[in-house]
Chains A and B, each alone.
Chain A
Amino acid sequence: MEIFGLFNYWMFVILLMTGIYTVMSRTNLIKKLIGMSIFQSAVFLLYISMDKVDGGTAPILQPGAVDVIYSNPLPQVLILTAIVVGIATLSLGLALVVRIHEAYGTIEEHEIREQDRV
């Protein structure tokens, strides 16, 4: 399956750009936050793709077993905590959006700017 050797990285790039495109082109603040989570998930995919070792298994040691190949545990630790930090920061962003909606009555960026200009 040599031709798929870089497929994960290409998918990471396309997902990353899907997220960036959403943040840049949409005015709805919740849609922007969803775009940022897609961007974030793409980064998770990059890290987890790098932990795979051919013929390996999850890095949970099996006592007595010989010649077991384990995948790299380090990227997993980084991403494990990053996922939970991601939800915490996402909810902080959502809380800001809720307060913006209470103050301006809209969550569309261009309408908020118009109100600020007056």
Chain B
Amino acid sequence: MITLFGVFLLCLLLITAIAIVREQNLFAAVMLTSIFSLQMAAIFFILDAADVALTEAAVGAGVATVLLLGALALTTNHEQEVKRHKAMAVVVAAFTSLLIIFATVDMPRLGDPMAPAHQHVAPWYLAETPKQVGIPNVVTAILASFRGYDTLGELFVIFTAGVGVLFLLTNSPSSSPSRLPSADAQGLRHHLVPRVVGRLLVPFIVLFGLYVQFHGDFGPGGGFQAGALICAGLILYALIEGESAALLVVPRSLLLALISGGALLYLAVGLAGLLRGGNFLDYSVLLSDPVAGQHLGILLVELGVGLTVTGVLLTIFHAFAAREQRS
């Protein structure tokens, strides 16, 4: 039954993807990408990836849609009907897909417990997590502890992307910058229904984000998901109350502190391990009890991830929104 539901969702996903490609109105295409992400999250969920589904729903359906709409507002929302290399693109895509489909015949079937992916290191993680780390969520244990180096690297990629967007969008454009708030910058304050409903939702979204942040050891969640959720809540506030009101709640200086503070907290936890005589990002030496040390390390590292992700995503949103007011 679940398999059939998965097949149904995948067909729906493909239809949505084709609709996105065919749609000439970019505004409609962006809304379709939001639906695409939501369907993707449902598929991840039935494939047992609860953490990934939560991330995809918060990031793909929430934040990405807002950023794409922001970019559309600054450029244009209609796509010209010029299709170069269309025949060649069809031939290349068809030929490559035939090749890859031919290669999939040798792949293990979906859910095969004997598949090579389930033989090597994954059983070790499942067996060692209760002994060495002592938290129920194995995904969080691998993310923050066993493979802490990788996550640190990913965090710095996000950090760098945020700095890059700041460099690209916060210089003053050649046209004279007018900081007078236009009618758009007032948000949806004069629309009663979104204002009342949105205002009710914002605190609960942020509260849920905090729950996901600090409950990530025990259930699906962690810094990446929490950062995206909290950012989505604050973006909703900015859309309702206007850009300037949102900047009063979380000013730019605080955003910059969040971005760098989170990354530095992660590094500091790693260095603390070094100073206490262990390896870089080895949390077992943080406290006298190794398992308690792992708990503390994971909590701090996830907090660092959450701070940086919230800061970067909100900064990117404000960079697009501020550009909008000027042009």
A20 touching B129 by the CB < 8 A rule?
A: no
Interface residue tally on B, bucketed by range: 35 or more
- B100 and A24 within 8 A (CB): no
Choose among A38, A52, A62, A92 the residue that contacts B136 (Cβ–Cβ < 8 A): A62
Contact pick for A96, options B10, B68, B168, CB 8 Å: B168
Q: Whole-angstrom distance from the CB of A72 to the nearest CB of chain B? A: 5
Q: A20-B93, A60-B136, A72-B117 are in contact. Are A80 and B143 (CB under 8 A)?
A: yes
A30 CA to B29 CA, complexed, in Å: 10
B 23-52 contacts with A by CB, 8 A: 26, 29-30, 33, 36-37, 40, 43-44, 47-52
The answer to whether B110 and A37 touch across the interface, beta carbons within 8 angstroms, is no
Give per-residue flags for B150-184: 1 if the beta carbon is below 8 A from chain A beta carbons, else 0.
11001001100110110011000100000000000
Interface residue tally on A, bucketed by range: 35 or more
Contacts of B142 in A (CB 8 A): 73-74, 77
Contact B75 A30 (CB under 8 A): yes
- Complex interface residues of chain B between 80 and 108 (CB less than 8 A to chain A): 80, 82-86, 88-90, 92-94, 96-97, 100-101, 104-105, 107
Asked whether A118 is an interface residue with its Cβ less than 8 Å from the other chain, the reply is no
29 contacts between A and B (CB under 8 A): A2-B109, A4-B110, A9-B104, A13-B97, A13-B101, A14-B97, A24-B89, A26-B79, A28-B79, A30-B26, A30-B68, A37-B33, A38-B21, A49-B47, A51-B47, A54-B113, A63-B136, A70-B126, A71-B48, A73-B139, A76-B52, A77-B147, A80-B55, A81-B143, A84-B228, A95-B316, A107-B75, A108-B82, A110-B82
